[in-house]
Amino acid sequence: MSEAGQVASLDVALAHATRLLASEPELAAEQAREIIAVVGEHPMALLVLGASHTARGAPEQAVAVLAPVAAAQPQWAMAQWELGRALSALGRSDAATAALRRAVSLKPDLPGAWLMLADQLALAGDATAASAAYSSHVRYSTRDPDLLAAATALCEDRIPDAELLLRAHLKKSPTDVAAIRMLAELAARLGRDDDAEALLARCIALAPDFDAARHHHALVLNRANRAAEALAEVECLLRKDPRNPAYRNLKAVILCRTGDYLPAIDIYDALLAQYPDHARIWLSYGHALKTAGRQEQAIAAYRRSSALEPGFGDAWWSLANLKTFRFSADDVRAMRAQLERADLGDEHRQHFAFALAKALEDAEEFEESFVHYQRGNSLRRMTSPYSADDTSVRTQRAKELYTADFYAQRAGAGASAPDPIFIVGLPRAGSTLIEQILSSHSQVEGTMELPELMTMTRALRRQSGADARTYHDAVAMLDAEQLRELGERYLERTRIHRKTSAPFFIDKMPNNFAHVGLIRLILPNARIIDARRHPMACCFSAFKQYFALGQTFTYDLVDLGRYYQDYVALMTHFDEVQPGRIHRVRYEQMVTDTGTQVRRLLDYCGLPFEEQCLRFFENERPVRTASSEQVRRPIFREGIDHWRHYEPWLGPLKQALGPVLDAYPETLQTPACSTRP
């Protein structure tokens, strides 16, 4: 046979082997081996052989074949893609992500590689990068020139252009689910979650098998605190693809949100058996274990995460955030080394700064500890904008609206159920301790910091108009039936967090102090407990805390002081217009006179005294907050004045607190005069 004939024959054989991959991978492997036996280790034949191993469930053999090919042909995108596919099947997610990134950088028009990369990024919890990868998948898989232009604009973050193109396209083709999905992605990027949710719901209604849209729908629902609906979407996806790691990971995240930690831990166990080198899954696993009270296992998980990725600051902060954990000298050296890296990302740098500050605090090196707390907060402040003036405006508007006459005119409105017990105040004020005491009572179930009320207030704010700085004006327009509906909606949305038949449950979202006016309208029989702590102790404790989300006022000492002032002003207002309806617990009194304070607390809640409330540290319920390990121990008094070690550097906080600091403890209301709703 001529040389040209041999080449043609080889091309035909390779094409035949490639076609067999999708339907008969074993035959494809046989064909590839025959080619290799005749012509030697031909790259394309090796690629087919490796891909056939992946298709037949033998990823170890696939990597053994494909890794040398990818190394020898570093500019060959298909080799990188197939290697990424095999590494993913083997559970080596970081390596798979790297290979897939190389593939799409070499040859961007590989929609399948983009989709697989999106799945890997979703598994890693990088929703932003996953969304961008999915947009690239759409961009390179579409053939419609209008949709291609819109997808290109979205990928290049030209949001206005993308929106104009998508809306024009949908005007002509209103049922194009790819375009609807992209418009939902655009809405999500702009923070218009309601629009994104509605668009994704329409996508799924038009195309029930559009799994990427359903996955995104679940993510948006979870972000909107609609856990039950998000879980239903994930379960639908898992019925079709039960092994999909991104779906399983999202299910575990949702289960943790609803307080179902044991099944979430089981999912993480299974994922880590498949992906043992995935630092971020180890971190999530550690969080679930910590909340479930398995501290030693949580420490081991965080240690594993930091060992796999030494520059992963969140793993180190998670150890510090156990509060009872102590770093070794080697740990301190390791954290200092990471902070010296010029290439360390800002988010990791923030985590390391807070973690190192905590380590130095435990070593009683308070001056250097404060330096690192200050650096961490300064970095966090740059990425977490906050306006103290806006908070003051909202506080003033609430005081103006929620008067005694306002409530008198709405007497009898709202849902009558007495189930919720709200614990409000500032973070780090002792709310977790109060929750642990109350949830040790046989008639009370502890849940977590529930987001439902804050979700409700965001919706009300949108009703007030795009430029509204508060939602209170929308509340003023609600009639008795609408107030009742809001109360019933709150009870319905929180039902997923209730795991027992206890008649009462706790919502301990501290920030709900700003929404006491609304609570008293929609749930007039709910109990409200104000957890208060010495201004300096409370504010500085919050300053030392790296909050994953929200609490943006805590990253500046002056902002903290002003926020505390607004909080006291609002609570004082409600003491005057709704006297006795809010029960105040001062942390220092609870610590020094626990028995008396617990009895007064139970009396306010209408509960008989139970001895177990004094043995709250024996309660094995899950606890999510930063105080989770502290409330699993008997009360200790050492923390009351701990802030004084840092007093030389807290002048700005003292000045911002002003007369509130001098007045503490306030005498406007004592626990003895609190009344039930």
Name the least confident of 253-257, 393-397, 462-466, 557-561: 462-466
Between residues 58 and 176, the one the model is more confident about:
58
Look-up: residue for tokens 């004006």? 473
- Residue 30 corresponds to which tokens in the numbers above? 């046989």
**CATH number attached to the domain at 388-673:** 3.40.50.300
- Per residue in 498-537, pLDDT (tens digit) is 888 999 999 999 999 999 999 999 999 999 999 999 999 9
pLDDT over 50 at 4, yes or no:
no
C-alpha 284/C-alpha 282 separation (Å) is 6
Q: Is residue 94 very low, low, confident or very high in pLDDT (cuts 50, 70, 90)? A: confident
Q: What pLDDT shows up at residue 3?
A: 44
* Average pLDDT of span 180-188: 89
Q: How confident is the model at residue 639 (pLDDT cuts 50, 70, 90)?
A: low
One-letter identity of residue 106? L
* E strand or H helix that includes residue 424: strand 420-425
pLDDT in tens, 383-413: 888 999 999 999 999 999 999 999 999 999 9
Q: Which pair of structure tokens corresponds to residue 386?
A: 């906050």
Give 2's pLDDT tier (boundaries 50, 70, 90): very low
Answer whether 551's CB lies under 8 Å from 538's CB: no
pLDDT digits (tens, 9 = 90+) for 43-73: 888 888 888 888 888 889 999 999 998 999 8
CA gyration radius, the chain: 29
Name the band, by pLDDT with cuts 50, 70 and 90, for residue 562: very high
Spell out the domain ranges in the chain: 10-254, 388-673
For 491-628, list the strands marked E by DSSP. Answer: 504-507, 527-532, 582-586
pLDDT at 475 > cutoff 80: yes
Q: How many CB atoms sit inside 10 A of residue 495's CB? A: 11
Predicted confidence (pLDDT) at residue 6 exceeds the cutoff of 60: no
What are the φ and ψ backbone dihedral angles of 582, each rounded to 5 degrees? -115, 130
- The more confident residue out of 112 and 580 is 580
Within 241-293, where are the H helices?
Answer: 245-257, 261-274, 279-291
pLDDT of 111 reads 78
- Residue 675 confidence class, pLDDT cut points 50, 70, 90: low
**Percentage of the chain lying above the pLDDT 90 cut:** 56
Query: Mean per-residue pLDDT for 198-211?
Result: 90
CATH of domain 10-254: 1.25.40.10
pLDDT value, residue 467: 55
What percent of the chain clears pLDDT 70, i.e. is strictly above it? 92
Using the predicted structure, report yes or no on whether residue 416 has a pLDDT greater than 50.
yes
pLDDT band at 192 (very low <50, low <70, confident <90, very high): confident
Q: What is the DSSP letter of 640?
A: T
Closest CA to 300 of 312, 288, 317, 282: 282
Phi, psi of 607, deg, nearest 5: -115, 140
Question: How far, in Å, CA of 631 to CA of 635, rounded?
Answer: 8
In this structure, of 481-485, 499-503, 571-575, the range with the lowest mean pLDDT score is 499-503
Task: Tell me what pLDDT residue 622 has.
Answer: 55
Average pLDDT of the residues of the chain: 88
Q: How far is CA 173 from the centre of its chain?
A: 36
